[in-house]
């Protein structure tokens, strides 16, 4: 089956705070990106189950960065490998590595894209027709252009340029997926 992604929860930045939670299916890998704040754990698990998957089926969790709104529900997937900017964590094994070019699965790679925090990464999924970027470089399609929480806005601009050079679709940290300007 070709690699595919499904938004489990569309994020929002206000008035409530919800992370965009995404499921990526790639070969044997069942990947959840940013299992963070949600109205309930069922708001993440019910959509997962609608794809015929139980929490124990999730093999990998990727977190875009360390803020709790993107991480509070990692524990739903206690047997998954957890990937962040500098390591992979699995049960009681901590494996240090860079996220730059880290291959999570055959079609999924991570890039270091700091700026919102020093620990931000972007997850890239290549499908037959699209290059999809799961990233907090954008909160939503509508902005904010200047990240009010940025540790380094210049790095955010650099990260956005890098992502826009390849991605056809952005799945932002707190909003619905959107097409990039150069893609149709």
Question: Which residues lie near Zn ion (CB under 5 A)?
Answer: 67, 69, 173
Residue written as token pair 């949600």: 38
Closest to Zn ion by CB, 106 vs 143, is 143
Closest to Zn ion by CB, 3 vs 35, is 35
Query: Residue 170, SS3?
Result: strand
Closest approach, Cβ 62 to Zn ion, in A, equals 14
Residue written as token pair 């996220």: 99
Pairing of strands 81-83, 60-62: parallel
Closest CA to 32 of 66, 14, 9, 12: 9
**Residue with nearest beta carbon to Zn ion:** 67
Closest to Zn ion by CB, 159 vs 173, is 173
Query: Residue 160, SS3?
Result: helix
Closest approach, Cβ 180 to Zn ion, in A, equals 20
Closest approach, Cβ 35 to Zn ion, in A, equals 13
């Amino acid at each position: 089956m070709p690699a595919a992604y499904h938004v489990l929860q569309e994020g929002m930045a206000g008035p409530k705070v919800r992370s965009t939670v995404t499921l990526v299916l790639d070969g044997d890998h069942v990947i959840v990106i940013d299992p963070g704040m949600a109205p309930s754990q069922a708001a993440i698990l019910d959509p997962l189950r609608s794809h015929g998957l139980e929490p124990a089926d999730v093999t990998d969790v990727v977190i875009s960065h360390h803020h709790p709104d993107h991480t509070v529900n990692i524990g739903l997937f206690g047997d998954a490998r957890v990937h962040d900017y500098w390591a992979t964590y699995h049960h009681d094994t901590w494996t240090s590595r860079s996220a730059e070019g880290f291959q999570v699965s055959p079609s999924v790679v991570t890039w270091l894209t700091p700026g919102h925090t020093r620990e931000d990464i972007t997850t890239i999924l290549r499908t037959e027709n699209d290059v999809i970027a799961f990233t907090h470089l954008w909160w939503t399609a509508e902005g904010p252009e200047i990240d009010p929480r940025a540790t380094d806005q210049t790095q955010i601009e650099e990260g956005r340029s890098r992502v826009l050079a390849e991605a056809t679709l952005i799945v932002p940290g707190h909003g619905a997926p959107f097409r990039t300007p150069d893609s149709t």
